[in-house]
Amino acid sequence: MLRIKNLSAGYGRLKVLRNISLHVNQGEIVTLIGANGAGKTTLLSTVCGLLRATNGEIYLQGRDISRQRPERIVASGCSLVPEGRQVFAAMSVRDNLLLGAFVRYRAAKNKRRSMDLKPVYQLFPVLKEREAQMAGTLSGGEQQMLAMGRALMAQPALIMMDEPSTGLAPMIVKNIFSIIRQLKDKGNTVLLIEQNARAALRIADRGYVMENGKIIVQGPAADLLANQDVQRAYLGQNVDNK
Amino acid sequence: MSTELFFQYFSAGITYGFLYAIVAIGFNIIYNATGIINFAQGEFVMLGGMTAISLYPFMPLPLAIVAAVIITTIIGALVEIIFIRWLDNPSVLRMIIITIGLSILIREAALFVWGESVRSLPYFNGNSISSINIMGANVSPQVLWVIGVCAVMVTILSLFFQLSTLGREMRACAANRLAATLCGINTRNRITLSFMLSAAIGAAAGCVMSPITYSQYDMGPGLAIKGFTVAILGGLGNSMAAVAAGLLLGLVESFSVMVLPQSYQEIIATSILLLVLFIRPHGLFGNKDTAALKEF
C-alpha cells in the first residue's frame, strides 16, 4: 500500500528526517511512536506532499507520489487527519463532511454526496445529531470524530492520523481508538501516529519507533509492547526491578 | 432641513456608499482567501471604467461594459498568477508591499495608455440632466442603476458563497487553507479565482459609477482608502457588514456637507479609519475573539 524508501526531508537547512524507510500493507494498522520532535508529524507532512522530500521515494499503491502536489496525493487515495483536527470552524458539520468528498465528485450531484454521508454517520452517530451545528462549537472529541469522518468521505485507500488522542479525556480517547479498530475491521488501512504509545500499540498490527528523525526499532506491535527498551523510553514503565 | 434636500443628500450617500461597499467586498474576497489586503483593488475599479470608455465608440454600451469586466477579470487573474501564485508562504508585509507596487504599476500603465484626461461613460438612461422625482427629490436614473447593480452583485455573491459547491470550497480555503488542501482542493486555483471575482465586481462598479463620478487614471488610491475604511469598519472579511459600513460612510460623508465645508469631505473617511483602528480594530460588526486569531 504505502512504501517509503530512504526518505529525507526537513525545513530549509534543518534536516528532520534521515533515511526513513517503512511500509504499510493493505488492511493493516501501523503505528509510529516516538517522543516530541522525533519527526513523526514531519514524516506525515512529507507523505501527503505538504513538505518536499529532499531525498528518497514514496510509493502509494505502486506509484511514486513523492514529487506530487498535496491535492493530487489526496486524489490518489491518501488522506491525512491532521494534528489539532483542523476542522472548518465556521462551517456546519455537514459542510465539513461534504468538503471531504471533494476529490471524488468535483462537479457531480450533491445527491450522491449526501448518500456518502450515511456510512460516516453510522460510524459517528453524534455527527448526525450535530449535522447543522457549526464545527467550531463541537467538543474536542466530536471535532476529532469530524476530522476523521471528513477524511473518510474521500474513501481513501490509506488513512493517516496524526495524534488523534491529543487533548482528549481518557474516556473519549478509548472511544476514538475503538473506532480506529473498527475502521480496520471494515477493511481500511491506517497509519497512526501517537504519543500514547501503549494504546496505539494495543490496536496496531505493527509498529515503528522513531527517534531524532530515524527509525530505531520496528516489529510486530506485540513485540514492541514487550521490548524492554521501548517500555522504558515510551511506555513509562520501570523495568529495572524485574 | 427640507425633505427634498434630505433625500438629495440621502441618495448621494447611498450611491457612494454602495461604491465603497463594492470596493470593500473586493478587499474581503481576497482577504478571505489569502489573508492579505490587495491594495490594487481601487485600480480594478479604474480599469473597468476606463476600458469600457475606450471600447464604447466601437460597440454598444452593454457590450462595452461586459467586455471591460471580462478584460479586467483577466487582468486580475494575470496579476495573481504572475506576482502572487509562486510565492511560498509570503509574509503579510511582503504581500502588502507587492500589492502597493502593483497598484502603482497599473496606475502608471493607465497614465501611459489613457493620459491624464477625465473621461466618463454616457448615462445609461437619459442624460446628465434627466431625473426622476422620488419623495420630492430629483434623483438621476443613473443612481438607481448604481444601487440596483451593486445590490444585485452583493446578493449574488452572498448566495454564491453560501449555497454553491464552488463557493463552499472557497469558504473552506478561507477558513483553513491546510485543511482545504488535505480535502484535495487546489487552493491556489481558488485564490486565482478570488482575484478574478474581486476584479470583476470592481470593474462592474467602475462602469456603473463612471457617468456620475467620472473615471481617471488615478482614481484608484482614493477609492482604496475609502474601501479599506469600510472593510475595517465592518470587520475584515465580512461582506454583509461591509455593505452596512459602506452605506454608513457614504451617508456620513454626504450629510457632513451640512456642518462642514465640502472640501473637508475627504478627511472624514480617514478620520473614521483612524478612530476605528484605535478604538475597535475588529470593526463595528466584527468579533474581538476571532480577530485576535488572525495574523493581520
Pairwise CA distance, residues A14 & B24, whole Å: 41
Judge: B169–A102 Cβ closer than 8 Å, yes or no: yes
Judge: A88–B186 Cβ closer than 8 Å, yes or no: no
**DSSP letter assigned to residue A32:** E
Provide, as residue numbers in chain B, all residues whose Cβ is less than 8 Å from the Cβ of A102.
169, 183-185
Q: Which of A187-201, B42-56, B144-158, B172-186 ranks highest by mean pLDDT?
A: B42-56
161-200 of A, contacting B, C-beta below 8 A: none
Q: Name which of A100, A79, A113 is nearest A190 in CA terms.
A: A79
Give residue A112's pLDDT: 62
Give residue B193's pLDDT: 92
Judge: B178–A99 Cβ closer than 8 Å, yes or no: no
Chain A within 8 Å of B168 (Cβ-Cβ)?
yes
In this structure, of A55-59, B48-52, B290-294, the range with the lowest mean pLDDT score is B290-294
Q: How far is A70 from chain B (nearest CA, A)?
A: 7
Mean pLDDT, to the nearest integer, of A211-236?
A: 86
Can you give the pTM of this predicted structure? 0.83
Chain B within 8 Å of A70 (Cβ-Cβ)?
yes
Chain B within 8 Å of A87 (Cβ-Cβ)?
yes
Chain A within 8 Å of B184 (Cβ-Cβ)?
yes
Taken in order of first residue, the domains within chain A and their CATH numbers are 2-87+157-234 (3.40.50.300)
H or E element in which residue A176 lies: helix A170-185
Q: How many residues does chain B have?
A: 296
Least CA distance to B176: which residue of chain A?
Answer: A88
Helix runs in chain B, H state only:
3-34, 41-55, 61-79, 92-114, 141-163, 165-175, 177-182, 187-213, 220-234, 239-256, 265-279, 288-293
Q: Are A225 and A201 in contact (CB under 8 A)?
A: yes
- Kindly tell me if the per-residue pLDDT of A108 is higher than 70: no
Percent of residues, chain B, with pLDDT higher than 90:
32
Judge: B182–A86 Cβ closer than 8 Å, yes or no: yes
Virtual CA dihedral for A216, A218, A223, A225, nearest 10 degrees? 60
CB pairs under 8 A between A and B: 63
- Kindly tell me if the per-residue pLDDT of B244 is higher than 70: yes
Mean pLDDT, to the nearest integer, of A136-158?
A: 91
Pairwise CA distance, residues B41 & B32, whole Å: 14
Confidence of residue A106 (pLDDT cuts 50, 70, 90): low
- Kindly tell me if the per-residue pLDDT of A100 is higher than 50: yes
- Kindly tell me if the per-residue pLDDT of B293 is higher than 70: no
Of B169, B178, B187, the CB nearest to A99: B169
Percent of residues, chain B, with pLDDT higher than 70:
96
**Residue-wise pLDDT tens digits, A58-97:** 999 988 998 888 888 988 889 999 988 899 888 889 889 9
Mean pLDDT, to the nearest integer, of B119-145?
A: 82
Topology of domain B3-293, per CATH? ABC transporter involved in vitamin B12 uptake, BtuC (1.10.3470)
Chain B within 8 Å of A52 (Cβ-Cβ)?
no
Judge: A99–B180 Cβ closer than 8 Å, yes or no: yes
- Kindly tell me if the per-residue pLDDT of A113 is higher than 80: no
CB under 8 A, 24+ apart: contacts of A221-228:
A221/A31, A225/A198, A225/A201
Judge: B183–A103 Cβ closer than 8 Å, yes or no: yes
Chain B within 8 Å of A211 (Cβ-Cβ)?
no
Give residue B168's pLDDT: 85
Judge: B175–A110 Cβ closer than 8 Å, yes or no: no
Pairwise CA distance, residues A233 & A209, whole Å: 10
Higher pLDDT, A95 or B295: A95
**DSSP letter assigned to residue A136:** G
Q: Where are the domains of chain B?
A: 3-293
Give residue B289's pLDDT: 53
Q: Are A220 and A206 in contact (CB under 8 A)?
A: yes
Confidence of residue A237 (pLDDT cuts 50, 70, 90): low
Q: Which residues contact B99 (CB under 8 A, 6 or more apart)?
A: B36, B37, B38, B39, B40
- Kindly tell me if the per-residue pLDDT of A212 is higher than 70: yes
Provide, as residue numbers in chain A, all residues whose Cβ is less than 8 Å from the Cβ of B180.
88, 99
